[in-house]
Chain A
Amino acid sequence: MAEWTLFEVFVRSKHGLNHKHVGSVHAADATMALENARELYTRRNEGVSIWVVPAAQITATAGDEKDAFFDPAEDKVYRHASFYKLPPEVDQM
């Protein structure tokens, strides 16, 4: 298995939905990775489309989830609709 590439698998479960990471497979090449992913992750109609990406090609944030990396989003409450209070007369918006 060591000589095979590790691929991450993303499946679109229904038309109109986004692809979602479901797991990984080892394969000799991308075509085989798609076939392996079909056998492993869509045996019961779980998908209409599959992406496979070599795991080594993915760049990810590191460390704990409460990382400084995400700090800029912490103090910007005005980006949320609930920050803006509307008079009851206007009701829903």
Chain B
Amino acid sequence: MYAQQVDTGSKSLKTLDEMGPEERHFQEKVNAETKIEPKNWMPDGYRKTLIRQISQHAHSEIVGMLPEGNWLTRAPSLKRKLQLMAKIQDEAGHGLYLYSAMETLGADRDEEIEKLHRGEVKFSSIFTYPTLSWADMGAIGWLVDGAAIVNQVPLQRCSYGPYARAMIRVCKEESFHQRQGYEVLLTMMREGTDEQKEMVQDAINRFWWPSLMMFGPSDDNSPNSAQSMAWKIKRHSNDELRQRFLDQTVPQLEFLGCTAPDPDLKWNEDTGHYDFGAIDWQEFFDVLKGHSPTGIERIQQRKSAIDEGRWVRDAAVAYAEKQKASAA
């Protein structure tokens, strides 16, 4: 979700017998649910896959601050502004926990951020959509953070210790995000004007499908899942998590008094799940390639934040050196 289509670099799964002694020992530990820690031996592919996934996850948290930052100065009340600022600060924190986890694998933070800016690595498809109204803040908190939680809860049991521990912290904070988003929408639906209620429905219409796409391609088009699952980086398939999210979200949607932009969405007595319409995967692949104007703008914003903040970092280093010199 925050990390989509993570390449594992492996074409087929090895059996324990096909592995050398080190890899076999590693896989047996993973199978026994023993966490892998930074200093333990691990296959190259496992290390590279985790760096790709965690960096993409971290980039998404950081880029995810931008659509919300767009509404900070126009939040409808001081209370909403404070809540939104707290949420955005949490996203920054999540990005930092994740970059730290990534660094334990030997990856360099500056280098990985450079790769993002050069367009060599991705951030989540969800942040390539513009935030057009205040109701989008509610829809993002409720749907986007809601989808993130469904994805991140199993990641707390990921085989790589530092990633799993970062996820535990993230999940603790994330539920506030989802509740505040839902409350924004509920307040607009209960106390708002007709125009404000329309804004809620419009935001849901725009964020509904992109939220479902966050879980990544369908299982039959997800070539890296088997390896990620064998390594216990991933615990559930994309479709399974997507269904879980949908099943818990539809009743909340109905309680809001809104509808989904999906004529095929209906409860299925036989399966005990909601059926839903076909996802436009072309749109997903297009936005993931960074072809959307908003996606391009997000990267430019990230770059200029780094470039324009350089003097602050330089000043901090100069100050630290001066303090050290005067203490000596």
Given A2-B110, A43-B89, A25:B39 Cβ within 8 A: no
Q: Given that A1-B109, A62-B39 are contacting pairs, would A29 and B324 also be in contact in the complex, using a CB cutoff of 8 Å?
A: yes
B90 near A28 (CB under 8 angstroms)? Answer: no
Q: How far is the CB of A20 from chain B (nearest CB, A)?
A: 12
One of B93-101, B139-147, B216-224 contacting the partner:
B93-101
Contact indicator B110/A40 (Cβ below 8 Å): no
Cβ-defined contact, A2 with B320, below 8 A: no
Asked if A28 and B319 sit within 8 Å, CB to CB, the answer is: yes
Cβ of B240 within 8 Å of any chain A Cβ, yes or no, is no
Cross-chain contact of A64 among B40, B108, B173 (Cβ < 8 A): B40
Complex Cα spacing A25 to B313, Å? 14
Residue count of chain B within 8 Å CB distance of chain A: 26
Is A69 in contact with chain B by the CB < 8 A criterion? no
Contact mask B87-121 → A, CB, 8 Å, 1/0? 00110010011001001000011100000000000
Cβ of B37 to closest chain A Cβ, rounded Å: 8
Give the size of the chain A interface in residues (CB under 8 angstroms): 23
Number of cross-chain contacts by CB at 8 Å: 52
By DSSP majority rule, is chain B's interface helix, strand, loop, or mixed? helix
Residues of A within 8 A of B82 (CB): none
> CA–CA, A40 to B100, complex, Å?
12
A2-B108, A23-B100 are contacts. A43–B316 as well, Cβ < 8 Å? no
Contact of A3 among B37, B40, B89, B317 (CB under 8 A): B317
Instruction: Determine if A16 is an interface residue (Cβ-Cβ < 8 Å).
Output: no
Answer whether A1 and B110 are a contact pair too, CB < 8 Å, given A28-B317, A29-B320: yes
Known: A40-B96, A62-B39. A32 touches B90 (CB 8 A): no
Q: Does B15 sit at the interface, judged by CB under 8 A?
A: no
Is B271 an interface residue, CB under 8 A from the partner? no
Chain A residue numbers with a CB within 8 Å of B96 are: 25, 40
**Which residue of chain A has the shortest Cβ distance to B38 in the bound complex?**
A60
Q: Mark A54-73, 1 if CB is under 8 A from B, else 0.
A: 00000010111100000000
- Tell me, rounded to whole Å, the shortest Cβ–Cβ distance linking B156 to chain A: 15
Flag if A28 contacts B39 (CB, 8 Å).
no
Contact residues of A between 1 and 49, Cβ < 8 Å to B: 1-4, 6, 23-29, 31-32, 39-40, 43-44
The reply to whether A43 and B39 form a contact with Cβ atoms under 8 Å apart is: no
- Residue B268 CB within 8 A of the other chain: no
- Chain A contact residues, CB within 8 Å of chain B: 1-4, 6, 23-29, 31-32, 39-40, 43-44, 60, 62-65
7 contacts between A and B (CB under 8 A): A2-B110, A23-B97, A39-B89, A39-B93, A40-B97, A43-B90, A60-B39
Which chain B residues have a beta carbon within 8 Å of chain A's beta carbons?
37, 39-41, 86, 89-90, 93, 96-97, 100, 103, 108-110, 165-166, 169, 173, 313, 316-317, 319-320, 323-324
